[in-house]
Copies of this chain bind each other. A is one copy, B any other.
């Protein structure tokens, strides 16, 4: 196989005809496969379903003397706060444990800033002339949608191998209308990049013009290694506090990919002043979150060491899926020079960059052949990838055999789109 760029027009035509035949044959199989979202597969769900065998004995309903079945403990049961604090390497008093969705806690933080302002806000953000928000891209579409929904102007920050381009971030925060930034610091969504210590240091040292600038630190994959041992990661709360800005960061985490997506527990961690402020406002909307589920998770996960053991079992299930995807790319796309990607060491995605101007077309072809993927452009603000290149692949849901088929289709589609772009 030669790189496509070196093919003659005739060779491109021949190759395209061959691919078209292959595509039609695959299409005829009537596949229905999904690599769109970071959903765990059934094997992962079954593995943790014994969590529901807990909570049988009367004493299981009590934690630190609190009856977890009744109202109360707005910030979560102390044992759940301790568990997340151990995992995130911060203090229990900095942790607020919520419901089943960290996304909802993130939304609530932004929504609160919009309707009431944050601790250091001169006014609620809905009273600001304009609010701008930094979006390292490629990034997580659901993050971008939250800030888009409140009418903020989304500003793309390029991603580098060590995290967001910090020169660009430091420049951008000089604008007082810039109120915050989205970050997935460990195994970034979708690139799988771990922010470097230098990046973390520069984040903590930021001196934004806006007094109420927030770093939204979504540590979604904090213990989600795909190979090898747990990789320790510095605590951003201490770093910001050390730099004299303890209130600049809100960290988020959940057990959505430890126990159940949608039936786990979530948290945010922040300075104690921020926590007191948020708790007061949250108490307007809810009496307390589901403490029975918090207690169930405390009994099941026990502590960080025990949780890391469980994560290794997830890795055993996920590892072959990720290898299947990356191997397919290496074998089928690599030699052709029409795509770039990383082999992620953690997280839930493979980020694939197709030849500029071909991502949409490739995914349209995938769709016709029954393969559902995250929409092209989704990893950029407003769903618009200026290069039309980035495609987020989510290998977690389908079993390996289905993934293999899906990747076969995917690679054919990427190739066809590339040839169409080069001219056939």
Contacts and interface: CB of A to CB of B under 8 A. Distances in A.
A260 B101 CA distance: 20
Interface string A278-312: 00010011111111110000000000000000000
A149 B149 CA distance: 21
A45 B69 contact: yes
A99 interface: yes
B39 A71 contact: yes
Interface string A81-117: 0000000000000000001110110011001001110
A46 B60 CA distance: 12
A67 interface: yes
Nearest to A289: B100
A263 B285 contact: no
A171 to B, nearest CB: 29
B42 A52 contact: no
Number of copies: 2
A285 B107 contact: yes
Contacts of A58: 46, 49
A103 B260 contact: no
Interface string A248-264: 00000000000011110
Given A70-B261, A103-B287, A260-B69, A52 B49 contact: no
Nearest to A147: B284
A151 to B, nearest CB: 9
Given A111-B115, A291-B262, A40 B286 contact: no
A230 interface: no
A205 interface: no
Nearest to A52: B55
Interface in A139-159: 142, 145-146, 149-150
- Per CB-CB distance, the 6 closest pairs between chain A and chain B, nearest first, are A107-B285, A263-B292, A52-B55, A100-B290, A71-B261, A45-B69
A364 interface: no
